[in-house]
Amino acid sequence: MSIQNLNTFDPFADAIKSSEDDVQDGLVHVRIQQRNGRKTLTTVQGLSSEYDLKKIVRACKKEFACNGTVVEHSEYGEVLQLQGDQRENICQWLIKSGLVKPEQLKVHGF
């Protein structure tokens, strides 16, 4: 039996952990933008910077057969851009690859 007072228990451990993957901050926003004609653009904002976005975009381009790029933004960090309406595709892909949890995904647009 151990004396509880002497246990090294960090009461803030949870707080520190949750601040990292906070639901609000950890959200991945998938948006759609209209371009000229019936063309559209899909943007994915909020992917963790730990991942190599260039590799992700390379895989996505191949998977969805579309072009894409990584854009650096001062406020939102690195943002993924894909040609066409890839919202469904990218959501499924991100979940399948385990990069993002389903509850972290937020799809915008119509």
Partner 1 sequence: MDEDMIFDPSLKKKKKKKTGFDMDAALAGETGESTSVEAPAETGDVDVPEDDNLDLDNFGKKKKKKKKTFFNLEELENTLPETPPTEEPEQQEDEAVDDLDLNIDFTNARKKKKKKNIDEFVLEDDTKGEDQENADDQHGVWVGSDRDYTYDELLERVFDIMREKNPSMVSGKKQKFIMRPPQVVRIGTKKTSFANFTEICKTLHRQPKHLLDFLLAELGTSGSVDGNSQLIIKGRFQQKQIENVLRRYIKEYVTCHTCRSPDTILQKDTRLFFLQCETCGSRCSVASIKSGFQAVTGKRAAIRAKNV
Asked whether position 97 contacts partner 1 by CB under 8 A, the answer is yes
Q: Residue 62 in 3-state DSSP? A: helix
| 8 A C-beta contact, residue 85 and residue 43 | no
Residue 76's alpha-carbon distances to 10, 15, 25, 36, 107, in angstroms, are 32, 24, 11, 25, 16
Stretch that binds partner 1, among 1-9, 11-19, 71-79 (CB under 8 A): 71-79
Residues in 3-62 that interact with partner 1 by CB under 8 A: 24, 29, 31-36, 38, 41, 43, 45, 59, 62
Amino acid at 15: A
For partner 1, the binding residues (CB under 8 A) are 24, 29, 31-36, 38, 41, 43, 45, 59, 62-63, 65, 71, 73, 76, 79, 81, 93, 96-97, 108-110
